[in-house]
Structure 1
Amino acid sequence: MTITAEQRRARILDVVRELGTVRVVDLADRVGTAAVTVRRDVAAMAEAGLLYRSHGTVSLPRDSSAPDRPDRDRIIGMLVPTVGSYFDEIIAGARTAATAAGARLVLGISAYESSDDRAQAEQLLEAGVDGLLLSPNWRPATGAVDTAWIRELPVPAVLVERPAPADSTAAELDSVSSDHRHGVLLALRHLLSLGHESVALAARLDSWTAGQVRAGYQEGVRLLGLKPQPVLDITRPGLDPDGLAARIAEAVGQGVRAFLVHNDQEAIQLTPPLRARGLRAPDDLALISYDDVFAALASPPLTAVSPPKHAVGTGAVELILRRIDGDSELPIHHVQLLPKLKVRGSCGGTNG
């Protein structure tokens, strides 16, 4: 039989009175209701002064004359679209910061399918997390950004490498990200300093970062007065290096001799098919990759735009802990960290 919200909240109070201090996940088991629902009830009851919340536990309101009770370690849920590449360094930064603060990091992976985001976040909530670091699978090609569910979360949330669109409700959430447009500008400025007045971009279509790189390219070309070139779309990431090499060779034949490639995997796989066409970096073309995960391991080592991935993870944890700890004076933060350009051997010139 379905119970009303009033009945459910009365049951919550009964359990808390019986047990004293109880974890939200255990409370949900005792009440027989999903943890997400119980968290929302607890949040409302705490706001009304009926309960006290602290780091995933619930108790009756504190007696001001009683000594403070110790709290358990804070638990931070982190939702990422993949592991094994770009996000590894972000996770490492978050893990280091969490450990230093005596907190615990719990990881969820949503596998680059936007429909998985909410379900994965709810699983993290059911694990008893006190706050969430979220990298939703927003798709740049469609422009569709689902933010409603994020605003309904019962715990603090920080967006990681996903600055929310200004017209979305998620823009009112904290975010920590790399300024990818600035990263592209660094690459274009370096190539211009080497005498390249035309630079072509080869970029993927399947990630939020790809969308930011594309937007940064259009902006950077305009700001630096470069000759605009059609973007070389990478529609089959990692699966068609020969096709991309053919289009790059065609652009070289038309006078373009500098290329920015998103990302490292695509750039590294270009070497054999380019050599088969008589083209080598840096002798015949200048090549910069974007991401700097594996770029230094290429032959020749690739000059690369290096987003501050570790620092993004660290900054996100530091911010979510302040939210979890109830820093009511803290304004909303939209933090953008600047990438660096790691100059190696693939551009030629005195600096490349």
Structure 2
Amino acid sequence: MAISADERRELILRAVRESGTPLRLAELADRLAIPAVTVRRDVAALAEAGRVGRSHGFVSFREAPGEPTPASARTVGLLVPSVGSYFDELIAGARAAAAAQGARLVLGIAPYEVRDDRAQAAQLLENGADGLLLAPNLLPNGSARDHRWLDTLPVPAVLVERGRPDHGTLGDRLDMVYSDHRHGVLLALRHLASLGHERVLLAARDDSWTALEVRAGYEQGMRLLGAQPLPVLSTLDPGARPADPALLAAHIATAAANGVRAVLVHNDQDAIQLLPHLRTHGLTVPDDLALIAYDDVFAALAAPPLTAVSPPTRAVGETAVDLLLRRLTTATPLPVHRTALLPTLRIRTSCGG
């Protein structure tokens, strides 16, 4: 006996909800023994009513208004480009915030050089993620076509450490929680200015969102302080590999011979590797050169300990999880959030003064 459209859609809702993970439309049609064309039509109607989400051939369950599911029943997917350095603290913060509310955290890794953000996000969804925290390989000068998938995600998502979108661009309707790296650079420049350094050199990468924000912050900060920005030294070679620290030290020594006595280096690892090579040019820190590192992952372990800009990376992870779980468990729609957390400056001995 034929069943009504309402009955079919209740079967679809039940199947998707009981699955616990997004289902392929073809798999859903097979499971319910309903023609695929009919399933697609019913899923479209359910999506328009806000009962399911659909993206790239998948369908996922959404709670009806007034039926929020508690955080303890939720799974949060976290996608980062690496573990072992900068993102470790973000992961730790996300894990602690999820555990505090009884939610499950699932980790995905999409290295910058592989550029498989979309595939890794899809894997997190297949593993049951109800919402996503994403730190994709998203650069201001990248192709918008590469990130169109961000606007078609079937579940709520928060971009982490990927702030300052251009209005009208892809992903600008997503929540964002990020460190204000431009403010962090300004803190470093103000500190150096207070020690009498009007000319400050920046040595930085250019292959990540943080690196580009550090560069932009340097340009803005120097002009704000009434100083002229200097040409930025790249800490990457032409093949996008870490540059030879001996060569970087030679460039800094040349700048020092022309009166530059302060350097900001992104990141800690590059700053620490520079120290012995600077000594070969007769430059010691802080006697001959004030040096500030950006990231503060390992800066305190250097000899001498490095003054460093410390982004609130752990707090970014905590804040992003709290925001995502609130969006997942609150029946009332929330406005899109843009949450910028300010770095701090850890004063050590590498600047003197």
TM-score (norm 1): 0.84
Measured in 1, the distance between the counterparts of 2:120 and 2:41 equals 18
Q: Match for residue 110 of structure 1?
A: 110
Counterparts of 1:46-61 in structure 2, within 5 Å, are 47-48=48-49
Counterparts of 1:143-182 in structure 2, within 5 Å, are 143-145=142-144, 146-163=146-163, 164-182=165-183
Instruction: Give 1:199 shift.
Output: 0.3
Flag the 1:58–1:133 CA change in 2: closer, same or farther, 3 A: closer
Q: Match for residue 3 of structure 2?
A: none
DSSP 3-state at the match of 2:350? coil
Q: Match for residue 303 of structure 2?
A: 299
Counterparts of 1:114-153 in structure 2, within 5 Å, are 115-140=115-140, 142-145=141-144, 146-153=146-153
Q: Does 1:188 align with 2:189?
A: yes
Flag the 1:154–1:200 CA change in 2: closer, same or farther, 3 A: same
Instruction: Give 1:275 shift.
Output: 1.1
Letter in structure 2 aligned against 1:263: N
Percent of residue pairs identical: 60
Measured in 1, the distance between the counterparts of 2:220 and 2:134 equals 27
Flag the 1:169–1:344 CA change in 2: closer, same or farther, 3 A: same
Q: Pick from 320, 339, 345: which aligns with 2:349?
A: 345
Is the CA contact 1:178–1:337 (under 8 Å) kept in the aligned structure 2? yes
Is the CA contact 1:131–1:320 (under 8 Å) kept in the aligned structure 2? yes
Instruction: Give 1:217 shift.
Output: 0.3
Measured in 1, the distance between the counterparts of 2:76 and 2:84 equals 20
Counterparts of 1:217-296 in structure 2, within 5 Å, are 217-236=218-237, 237-296=241-300
Instruction: Give 1:13 shift.
Output: 4.8
Is the CA contact 1:188–1:220 (under 8 Å) kept in the aligned structure 2? yes
Q: Match for residue 85 of structure 1?
A: 85
Q: Does 1:25 align with 2:29?
A: no
Q: Does 1:316 align with 2:320?
A: yes
Is the CA contact 1:79–1:120 (under 8 Å) kept in the aligned structure 2? yes
Q: Match for residue 5 of structure 1?
A: none
Is the CA contact 1:288–1:304 (under 8 Å) kept in the aligned structure 2? yes
TM-score (norm 2): 0.84
Flag the 1:114–1:220 CA change in 2: closer, same or farther, 3 A: farther
Q: Match for residue 74 of structure 1?
A: 74
Instruction: Give 1:165 shift.
Output: 2.6
DSSP 3-state at the match of 1:330? coil
Q: Match for residue 4 of structure 1?
A: none
Letter in structure 1 aligned against 2:234: D
Measured in 1, the distance between the counterparts of 2:181 and 2:40 equals 36
Letter in structure 2 aligned against 1:160: V
Flag the 1:83–1:11 CA change in 2: closer, same or farther, 3 A: farther
Measured in 2, the distance between the counterparts of 1:252 and 1:217 equals 19
Is the CA contact 1:161–1:178 (under 8 Å) kept in the aligned structure 2? yes
Measured in 2, the distance between the counterparts of 1:81 and 1:210 equals 14
Q: Name segments (4+ residues, structure 1) moved above 6 Å.
A: 9-12, 38-41, 49-52, 59-62, 67-72
Instruction: Give 1:22 shift.
Output: 0.6
Flag the 1:286–1:127 CA change in 2: closer, same or farther, 3 A: same
Measured in 2, the distance between the counterparts of 1:204 and 1:152 equals 31
Measured in 2, the distance between the counterparts of 1:40 and 1:100 equals 40
DSSP 3-state at the match of 1:215? helix
Instruction: Give 1:238 shift.
Output: 3.6
Please identify, of 301-310 and 19-28, the stretch whose mean Cα deviation from structure 2 is larger: 19-28
Measured in 2, the distance between the counterparts of 1:169 and 1:228 equals 31
Flag the 1:24–1:278 CA change in 2: closer, same or farther, 3 A: same
Cα offsets for 1:288-338 (capped at 9, x unmatched): 000001000101000000000000000000111111114434211100000
- Aligned positions, number: 330
Measured in 1, the distance between the counterparts of 2:42 and 2:315 equals 35
Measured in 1, the distance between the counterparts of 2:342 and 2:102 equals 28
Flag the 1:192–1:23 CA change in 2: closer, same or farther, 3 A: same
Q: RMSD over aligned Cα, in angstroms? A: 3.2
Flag the 1:324–1:241 CA change in 2: closer, same or farther, 3 A: same
Is the CA contact 1:80–1:109 (under 8 Å) kept in the aligned structure 2? yes
Measured in 2, the distance between the counterparts of 1:260 and 1:75 equals 40
DSSP 3-state at the match of 1:171? coil
Measured in 1, the distance between the counterparts of 2:7 and 2:286 equals 71
Q: Pick from 311, 332, 337: which aligns with 1:328?
A: 332
Letter in structure 2 aligned against 1:144: S
Q: Which runs of 5+ in 1 are unaligned?
A: 1-8
Please identify, of 151-160 and 38-47, the stretch whose mean Cα deviation from structure 2 is larger: 38-47
Measured in 2, the distance between the counterparts of 1:238 and 1:20 equals 47
Is the CA contact 2:179–2:341 (under 8 Å) kept in the aligned structure 1? yes
Measured in 2, the distance between the counterparts of 1:244 and 1:127 equals 45
Instruction: Give 1:248 shift.
Output: 0.4
Is the CA contact 1:133–1:157 (under 8 Å) kept in the aligned structure 2? yes
